[in-house]
Amino acid sequence: VLLSLGLQLGAGGWPRLHGRLWLAAAARLIGGPLLGLGVGALCGLRGESLAVLILSASMPTAVNALLIAREYDGDTDTVAGVVLLSTLGSVVTITAVVALLPRLG
């Protein structure tokens, strides 16, 4: 799967970082943990269970999204860009989420 991403990025070059890429990456990396926090709180999760949900929701866009886009003739260039941008950005956002998780307890 990673080879497929590398081929897609290699064929198209470095993705143009336009607004859709930034919005999609931000929705995944910032919106994901916030949505996890909200849904977990509504479901009554506390402690470690809530922390696991929030951390799982903080992960970057999966490379599998590129395979699905390719299978159904989607915008593979945009998907590859979002995967790349969210993976690079997750270094910062996951660090922040892990640093903030102890404050939930």
Per-chain mean pLDDT for the chain: 89
> Is the residue at 56 inside a domain?
yes
Per-residue pLDDT at 63 exceeds 90 = no
> Is the residue at 41 inside a domain?
yes
Per-residue pLDDT at 28 exceeds 90 = yes
Q: Where are the alpha helices (DSSP H) in the chain?
A: 2-12, 19-26, 32-42, 47-57, 64-71, 76-100
Please give the model's pTM, rounded to 2 decimal places: 0.81
Which amino acid, 64?
N
**43-60 residue pLDDT tens:** 999 999 999 999 999 999
Whose CA is closest to 27, among 85, 72, 95, 73?
85
What is the number of structural domains in the chain?
Answer: 1
DSSP letter at 46 equals -
Expressed as residue numbers, the domain containing 50 is 2-10+21-104
Per-residue pLDDT at 64 exceeds 90 = no
